[in-house]
Structure 1
Amino acid sequence: MRQARGVVLLAGLGYFVDIFDLLLFAVLRIPSVRDLGAGDRTLEVGTLLQNTQLVGMMLGGLAWGVLGDRRGRRSVLFGSIALYSVATLANATVTTVEQYVAWRFIAGFGLAGELGAALTLVSERVEARARGTATTIVTALGVMGGAAAAVAGEFLPWRTAYALGGAMGLALLALRFTVRDSAMFARTRAAGRERGNVLRLLDDRGRALRYLRSIVVGVPVWFTLGVLVTFAPEFARALGVEGEVTAGRAVLVYYVFATVGDLSCGLLSQRLKSRRRAVAIYLAATALSVTAYLAAPVATPAGFYVLCGGIGFTTGFWAVMVTMAAEQFGTDLRATVASSVPTFVRASAVPMTLAFLALRPALGMIGAAALVGAASIAAAAVALRFQSETYGRDLDFTELPAGRTP
């Protein structure tokens, strides 16, 4: 891994800025929406903005992934960070909710390419035995961006915080000119094989199921973040917590513990020599932490933040989950998968928040969240059960044509 240290560091810093910009909205949702005149509709307008951003990410994940497989991982590392940095700067200038919606969509589109391209490049540049450690470092650095976003949102005016996020992205862009694509990708391109055809993910039943399972395994992570943590102030009131709970502090605590969780899950994966077993352990722990969040008799903000931290730690299987998804597929589709899988996982927050809001009148906040959360965790467990192990797999291969088996 020594020869790829520079790539790992730049990829990690890029993901830091990516998560900073992505989570900044969760922290700034209430003050920014109120400042733009939403009144007492902060939950509804916030949901619209979050869902618009995630739709942008869903479309961007496919677009950047295809570009990464056709033109190279380096092209995505440049284009993605440039687009979301400019969009984040523009968020600092909005004066209406409509403008805010438009720029969150563009920011989401740009943000979708960063993680997939970074992990694909690192996976292809690092030897198999150190691949899990390298991708864990990248993701752990990125997760720290969530904690930094929480701090910025707590202590800076919301427009200044957005400006800071955009400026950091543009500064990092200048450091990426030394990055080169992997030799593995260069060989695939030189061979003239078809690359980045997203329809190939669906033209073979086995490949389509591999892709679907890769997405479903990660859905509980974004249930906890997109519903439980983003709407932490509303949940605290529903649970009878006495005292103010802010989204910024909930996100900060969540990501501080998520950093530890990502590192520990990655190390556990290396120790067990298994991606699947490590994810299974943390997924089971996530079920317990979500249950505690929704049912524990906590009356103080401090106790509530501890529960947020517990959820952050147990959902620390994110890095291993994305690495496992990238390792499932050949070099001709790997960037498409690595960019689109985390994006579709994040976009799953759209139907989950809509289901949560639809069920809330009948079941209440706690009942609605419990039902949606249980469904996401159960689906992830089933998907993981049938997904193949990828630890130590040689990644220098391409996908077979539809209907052919090795």
Structure 2
Amino acid sequence: MQELSRSSKLKYIFSIPVIISALGYFVDIYDLLLFGIVRIPSLKDLGLNPDTDGTFILNCQMTGLLIGGVFWGVFGDKKGRLSVLFGSILVYSLANIACGFLPYFPKTHLEYQYAALRFIAGIGLAGELGAGITLVSESLPKNLRAIGTSVVAGFGLMGAVVAQLTVELAGGWNISYIIGGVLGIALLFLRISVSESGIYKTMEHKDVSKGNFLSFFTHKDRFIRYLKCIAVGLPTWYCIGILAVLANQFAPELGIRDISPGKAIMWAYVGISVGDLLSGFISHALKSRKMAIFYMLAFTVVGVGIMLFGHTDSETKYYLFCVWLGLGTGYWAMFVTLAAEQFGTNIRNTATTTVPNMVRGLVPAMIFAFDFFKKDFSVVISAAIVGVIVFGLAFYSSFTISETHNKDLDFTE
């Protein structure tokens, strides 16, 4: 393979598919994390319980992500990557605009109306990342895939930071929802300039089964690969779903007057954005996806341990540790790229879309385990027990999964 010049590399890394995917993921993350940021003020304003109703609504959103991951994954392999990029953003943008008008909804059973809208938003949000990473992975030369997908995630994840700042500056949580929805609608017009993946076009008319979700469960080797991909990503949403979104629950036990979940999420995503940019270059330098993820997991474990047991006795320290955990779990794009590279073109979008959403969809299970252990243990110990399970699975999977650095993606299952 001929070595690309520096200008050619930059042209690929900042090509239209990468830029549009990065912008799409930016809006996706903005809308995905917005409920976590406005959970307390929005539910109090609507006369609902921030803890019980908040957990119910969050679980509905995550369930929507799980269902939407399967739908958009299959759809993208059958109808093309671009069809998902257009359809998914339309669904979640309209759902978020509707969330902005919740104060004007009938007050009866308002928690179910809020949950239904977050469920629909979750279905829409499920398609964005997988289709974007698949499109970029199939459009870039194999030696630039890691860097290209890291640019997508590194920029896109800043959507969480902007979401927090928007909530603070917009003057109302409902305005923040409307802004997110409008941004999504605006992005639809930019996507007209994006072309379909060449690898997908080559496979499109082949006589091969496309988007068969059940195929992940009917072949032992494929099933194990699929489970390992999911396990590798679990610590990312353990850190966000428990240590950031539920940050206020840790405050009393740590001796902190108050911790804002919105700020915890924002600072975590500041770290994640930097970590995701770095992860591609780390993988490129090591010539290994799995070792880059393994080292970043180790860095995260140290941060979690010190955060929970190292006398984190101020709000500022807690936020600093959120940045640390964000840096460590900033292998999100690398983990999704790893999933894309594990499977053939005919089920690649299904894998790349369902795997991260299986991880997100398992947040309710992690929260359930966290709440279960709280019956007999402290908040800190309960979080630590869940963390040991989650990180144990991730370490094992990252160490034993197949290496995919420089793997040719033009193949089918």
Q: Normalising TM by the smaller chain, what interval?
A: over 0.9
Offset, 1:367: 1.1
Indicate conservation of the 8 Å contact 1:20/1:146, yes or no.
yes
Equivalent in the alignment of 2:5? none
List aligned pairs for 1:2-401, cutoff 5 A: 2-3=11-12, 5-38=15-48, 41-94=49-102, 95=105, 96-156=110-170, 157-242=172-257, 244-399=258-413
Partners of 2:97 and 2:62 lie apart in 1 by 18
Offset, 1:152: 1.5
Partners of 2:285 and 2:295 lie apart in 1 by 13
SS at match of 1:393: coil
SS at match of 2:271: helix
Which blocks of at least 5 consecutive residues in structure 1 are unaligned? 400-406
Offset, 1:236: 1.9
Offset, 1:177: 1.1
SS at match of 1:42: coil
Partners of 1:83 and 1:12 lie apart in 2 by 19
Indicate conservation of the 8 Å contact 1:325/1:338, yes or no.
yes
SS at match of 1:288: helix
Q: TM-score, normalised by structure 2?
A: 0.94
Partners of 1:292 and 1:167 lie apart in 2 by 40
Equivalent in the alignment of 2:6? none
Indicate conservation of the 8 Å contact 1:241/1:304, yes or no.
no
> After the TM superposition, which of the residue ranges 157-166 and 193-202 deviates more from structure 2?
193-202
Offset, 1:361: 2.0
Give the % identical residues.
41
Partners of 2:52 and 2:377 lie apart in 1 by 18
> After the TM superposition, which of the residue ranges 184-193 and 24-33 deviates more from structure 2?
184-193
SS at match of 2:209: coil
Matched AA of 2:21: A
SS at match of 1:362: coil
Equivalent in the alignment of 2:4? none
Partners of 1:301 and 1:365 lie apart in 2 by 17
Count of residues paired in the alignment: 396
Matched AA of 2:206: A
Offset, 1:238: 2.2
> After the TM superposition, which of the residue ranges 185-194 and 118-127 deviates more from structure 2?
185-194
Indicate conservation of the 8 Å contact 1:236/1:304, yes or no.
no
Indicate conservation of the 8 Å contact 2:291/2:399, yes or no.
no
What do the CA deviations read for 1:143-202 (whole angstroms, capped 9, x no partner)?
111111111123331100000000000000111112121111111112232210111111
Which blocks of at least 5 consecutive residues in structure 2 are unaligned? 1-8
Offset, 1:245: 2.0
Indicate conservation of the 8 Å contact 1:154/1:248, yes or no.
no
Partners of 1:176 and 1:205 lie apart in 2 by 38
Matched AA of 1:75: S
Offset, 1:37: 1.1
Offset, 1:218: 0.4
> After the TM superposition, which of the residue ranges 52-61 and 352-361 deviates more from structure 2?
352-361
Indicate conservation of the 8 Å contact 2:279/2:334, yes or no.
yes
Matched AA of 2:229: S
Matched AA of 1:159: N
Partners of 1:274 and 1:265 lie apart in 2 by 11
Matched AA of 2:115: V
Matched AA of 1:59: I
**4+ runs deviating over 2 angstroms:** 153-156
Partners of 2:261 and 2:254 lie apart in 1 by 15
Q: TM-score, normalised by structure 1?
A: 0.96
Offset, 1:237: 2.4
Partners of 1:9 and 1:259 lie apart in 2 by 16
Pairwise CA RMSD of aligned residues? 1.1
Partners of 1:64 and 1:42 lie apart in 2 by 31
What do the CA deviations read for 1:209-258 (whole angstroms, capped 9, x no partner)?
1011000110011011001100112212221114x321121111111111
What do the CA deviations read for 1:72-95 (whole angstroms, capped 9, x no partner)?
001000000000000011111124
